[in-house]
């Protein structure tokens, strides 16, 4: 068949399809059936035009129509409300558990450097200056001095909300950095985990040495469970990325990276949410000096139990089938 | 259509996670031709569609526009919230955080894969199988933008784009996304009636040669008369066209080939 004849015969169908693409939502009742049928016949027309060697202009036009139809049909509509709830209640803990090797590695790196540095500083107080300057150490002391009007803040005039904004920016930013730097073969994540661990450990040791144990531990007890867990989980996500690059198994390196990334993104998202909670607690609860230290310790312990129970236990009684298949990725 | 076998909506689901489509993570880069950068995707209908990934130049321009916009928003917010005292400071920090990390995500998910810079350049972010971008992929490629900016001035991203098969930066490689041209320029067709005289070819022509002549016919209106004559003159002798007005004869011949 000559090209012009082909075009003349099919023109009406193509124009109707184009109108449906531009106009009403094809998922509406009256349009859905004809739209799908037209899309299929258009796909056929494109294949025919290519195989018969029709002109570039015609093939381009048909390609465009088929592409737009393809996007419309295979676009994904996610009900965000229910999806978020499912993620928080089940999806995230399930994924954390299925990545337990990376979480373990991440916690060893982080906790190891934290505890190691804290003990070192306790034994040799001057070691605190290996990770922070004298001014920073002095600022720390000023923040956790029991006689300070507001605990844990550099300036008493900072409002709770301003600090909330700061913690969000700072902490979630760190978590994203932990994740993204995993692309550097996992070394970036390992580096940041150790770096943050050393810094926090040194701060803790220094506070004990300065005699501010009560205020410091009271301050961190509230948000510590959320923040420390989130740091470990973000680091685990970064390590997962790096491992995907380093050990692709039977897949190409790029495909392995993509698969690892698919598994890692939910972890980062969940960690970011945990840090949001941590920022909230840190800004609006932790710095209240009127609340006694034993109360803060008790609340902190309870929150630790809550976080651990959530990560270990939530989502066990049947999640969506989608999540069960995600465990395979941890095998590498 | 997509939510069949699952028990409920899943927030972070990749297009091919359930194997509903036999879609490799990296579409086999079937080169359409040696010169063309088209990226051919096979649809479930068995037809191939062509995507045209955008190169480094167009993407860098889009990136510059987006960066200027992003920092304008941040600085503008700081300026405005400076007037609101300490409450403003918290707000400014949150806006800074959102803009710094999630600027791209918001636009890509809500605006059909187009940030303002990309929209201006006529680009769009899509999955590797041609489907519109979804949240997890967008989140991933925007978080990894941080790595692409290392060590300075987007160097890692530029190097990766130059080396990868379809101008993908690190974030695109990890997320399996592509940045493609949204629309091919619409070709203006010459009115077929203008060359209606029947003029069957005097020599046997292969399919490819016929296509070349038909393409010439369809582009004729975009060429000047001198250029038309020049091009027609090149093929007049092989086609055994003896007319003085070679271009009209060749166009008539092409019109006959196209039919109608």
Query: Considering only CB atoms, which chain B residues are within 8 Å of A165?
Result: 89-94, 97
Query: A77-111: per-residue pLDDT in tens?
Result: 666 777 788 888 888 999 999 999 999 999 999 99
Confidence of residue B27 (pLDDT cuts 50, 70, 90): very low
Higher pLDDT, B157 or B32: B157
pLDDT at B18: 41
ipTM score of complex = 0.76
Q: Can you give the C-alpha Rg of chain A in angstroms?
A: 28
CA A276-A277-A282 angle, 5° bins = 100
Tell me what the pLDDT averaged over chain A comes to.
85
Residues 6+ apart with CB under 8 A from A26: A20, A32, A35, A72
Q: How far apart are CA A165 and CA B88, in angstroms?
A: 10
Q: Is the pLDDT of residue B17 over 50?
A: no
Strand partners, B127: B177
| DSSP calls for B193-236 | GGG-S----SS---HHHHHHHHHHHHHGGGS-HHHHHHHHHHHH
- How distant, in Å, are the alpha carbons of A110, A115, A263, B9, B177 from that of A236? 10, 19, 11, 26, 24
Find the mean pLDDT for residues B25-54: 73
Q: Is the pLDDT of residue B178 over 50?
A: yes
Q: Which of A127-141, A167-181, B13-27 has the highest mean pLDDT?
A: A167-181
Q: How far apart are CA A168 and CA A229, in angstroms?
A: 16
Higher pLDDT, A121 or A148: A121
Query: A58-73: per-residue pLDDT in tens?
Result: 888 999 899 888 888 8
Nearest Cα of chain A lies from the Cα of B245 at a distance, in angstroms, of 24
Counting Cα atoms < 13 Å in the Cβ hemisphere of A141 gives 12
Phi, psi of A302 (to 5 degrees): -60, -40
Q: Is the pLDDT of residue B202 over 50?
A: yes
Name the least confident of A32-36, A259-263, B106-110, B111-115: A32-36
Higher pLDDT, B40 or A109: A109
Query: A179-235: per-residue pLDDT in tens?
Result: 999 988 889 999 999 999 999 999 999 988 888 888 888 888 888 999 999 999 999
pLDDT at A77: 65
Query: Considering only CB atoms, which chain B residues are within 8 Å of A61?
Result: 186-187
* Residue B164 structure tokens: 């990868």
pLDDT at A136: 85
* DSSP letter assigned to residue B12: S
Query: B162-174: per-residue pLDDT in tens?
Result: 888 888 998 898 8
Confidence of residue B196 (pLDDT cuts 50, 70, 90): low
**Which residues numbered 207-226 in A keep a CB inside 8 Å of some CB on B?**
none
If we measure between CA atoms, which residue out of A164, A143, A285, A284 comes closest to residue B88? A164
Q: For the purposes of burial, counting CB atoms within 10 Å of the CB of B19, is it exposed (0-12), middle (13-18) or buried (19 or more)? A: exposed
Q: How far apart are CA B164 and CA B171, in angstroms?
A: 12
- How distant, in Å, are the alpha carbons of A15, A192, A231, A260, B52 from that of A224? 62, 18, 10, 28, 49
- How distant, in Å, are the alpha carbons of A210, A219, A291 from that of A214? 11, 8, 12
pLDDT at B190: 64
Contact yes or no for B211 and A162 at CB 8 A: no
**Which residues numbered 249-288 in A keep a CB inside 8 Å of some CB on B?**
252, 254-255, 257-259, 261-262, 265-266, 268-269
Query: B49-64: per-residue pLDDT in tens?
Result: 888 899 888 999 999 9
Strand partners, B124: B180
Contacts of A31-38 with CB under 8 Å at 24 or more apart are: A35/A69, A35/A72, A35/A73, A36/A73, A38/A13, A38/A69
Global pTM exceeds 0.80:
no
Confidence of residue B194 (pLDDT cuts 50, 70, 90): low
**Which residues numbered 196-255 in B keep a CB inside 8 Å of some CB on A?**
207-208, 210-211, 214-215, 218
Q: How far apart are the first and last CA of chain A?
A: 53
Query: Considering only CB atoms, which chain A residues are within 8 Å of B18?
Result: 322, 325
Q: Does B155 touch chain A (CB under 8 A)?
A: no
* Residue A303 structure tokens: 């929150």
Q: Can you give the C-alpha Rg of chain B in angstroms?
A: 25
Confidence of residue B134 (pLDDT cuts 50, 70, 90): confident
Nearest Cα of chain A lies from the Cα of B26 at a distance, in angstroms, of 7
Phi, psi of A79 (to 5 degrees): -75, 100
Confidence of residue B11 (pLDDT cuts 50, 70, 90): low
Query: A234-257: per-residue pLDDT in tens?
Result: 999 999 999 999 999 898 888 899
* Residue A298 structure tokens: 């008790």
pLDDT at A254: 85
Find the mean pLDDT for residues A299-319: 85
The distance of Cα B14 from the centroid of its chain, to the nearest Å, equals 21
Find the mean pLDDT for residues A255-274: 91
Q: Which of A78, A173, A265 sits opposite B9 (nearest CB)?
A: A78
């Amino acid at each position: 068949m000559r090209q012009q004849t082909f075009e003349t015969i099919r023109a009406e169908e193509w124009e109707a399809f184009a109108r449906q693409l531009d106009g009403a939502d094809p998922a509406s009742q009256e349009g859905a059936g004809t739209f799908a049928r037209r899309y299929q016949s258009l796909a056929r027309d494109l294949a025919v035009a290519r195989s018969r060697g029709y002109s570039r202009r015609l093939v381009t036009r048909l390609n465009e129509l088929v592409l737009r139809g393809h996007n419309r049909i295979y676009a994904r509509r996610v009900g965000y409300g229910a999806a978020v709830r499912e993620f928080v209640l089940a999806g995230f803990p399930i994924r954390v558990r299925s990545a337990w090797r990376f979480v373990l590695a991440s916690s060893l790196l982080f906790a190891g450097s934290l505890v190691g540095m804290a003990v070192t500083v306790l034994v040799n107080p001057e070691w605190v200056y290996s990770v922070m300057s004298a001014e920073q150490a002095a600022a720390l002391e000023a923040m956790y001095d029991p006689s300070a009007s507001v605990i844990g803040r550099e300036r008493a005039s900072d409002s709770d909300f301003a600090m909330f904004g700061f913690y969000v920016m700072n902490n979630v930013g760190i978590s994203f950095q932990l994740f993204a730097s995993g692309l550097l073969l996992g070394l970036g994540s390992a580096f940041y985990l150790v770096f943050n661990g050393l810094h926090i450990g040194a701060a803790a040791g220094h506070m004990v040495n300065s005699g501010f144990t009560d205020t410091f531990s009271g301050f961190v007890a509230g948000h510590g469970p959320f923040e420390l867990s989130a740091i470990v989980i973000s680091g685990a996500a970064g390590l997962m990325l790096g491992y995907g690059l380093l050990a692709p198994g039977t897949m190409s390196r790029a495909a392995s990276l993509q698969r690892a990334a698919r598994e890692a993104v939910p972890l980062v998202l969940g960690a970011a949410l945990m840090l949001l909670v941590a920022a909230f607690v840190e800004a609006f609860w932790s710095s209240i000096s009127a609340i006694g230290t034993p109360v803060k310790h008790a609340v902190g312990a309870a929150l630790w139990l809550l976080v651990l129970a959530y990560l270990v236990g939530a989502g066990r009684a049947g999640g969506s089938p989608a999540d069960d298949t995600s465990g395979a990725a941890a095998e590498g | 259509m997509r939510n069949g076998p699952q028990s409920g909506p899943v927030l972070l689901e990749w297009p091919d996670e359930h194997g509903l489509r036999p879609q490799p993570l990296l579409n086999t880069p079937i080169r359409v031709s040696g010169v063309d950068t088209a990226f051919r995707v096979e649809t479930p209908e068995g037809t191939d569609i062509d995507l045209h990934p955008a190169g480094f130049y167009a993407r860098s321009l889009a990136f510059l526009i987006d960066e200027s916009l992003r920092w304008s928003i941040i600085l503008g917010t700081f300026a405005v919230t400076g007037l609101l005292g300490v409450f403003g400071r918290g707000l400014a920090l949150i806006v800074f955080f959102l803009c710094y990390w999630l600027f791209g995500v918001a636009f890509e998910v809500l605006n059909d894969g187009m940030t303002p810079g990309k929209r201006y350049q006529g680009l769009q972010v899509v999955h590797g199988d041609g489907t519109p971008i979804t949240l997890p992929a967008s989140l991933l490629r925007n978080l990894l933008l941080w790595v692409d900016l290392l060590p300075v001035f987007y160097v890692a991203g530029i190097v990766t784009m130059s080396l990868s098969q379809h101008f993908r930066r690190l974030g695109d490689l990890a997320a399996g996304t592509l940045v493609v041209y949204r629309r091919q320029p619409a070709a203006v067709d010459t009115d077929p009636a203008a060359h209606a005289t029947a003029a069957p070819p005097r020599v046997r022509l292969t399919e490819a040669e016929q296509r070349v002549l038909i393409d010439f016919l369809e582009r004729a209106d975009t060429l000047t008369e001198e250029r038309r004559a020049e091009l027609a003159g090149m093929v007049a002798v092989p086609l055994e066209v003896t007319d003085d007005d070679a271009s009209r004869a060749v166009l008539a011949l092409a019109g006959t080939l196209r039919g109608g």
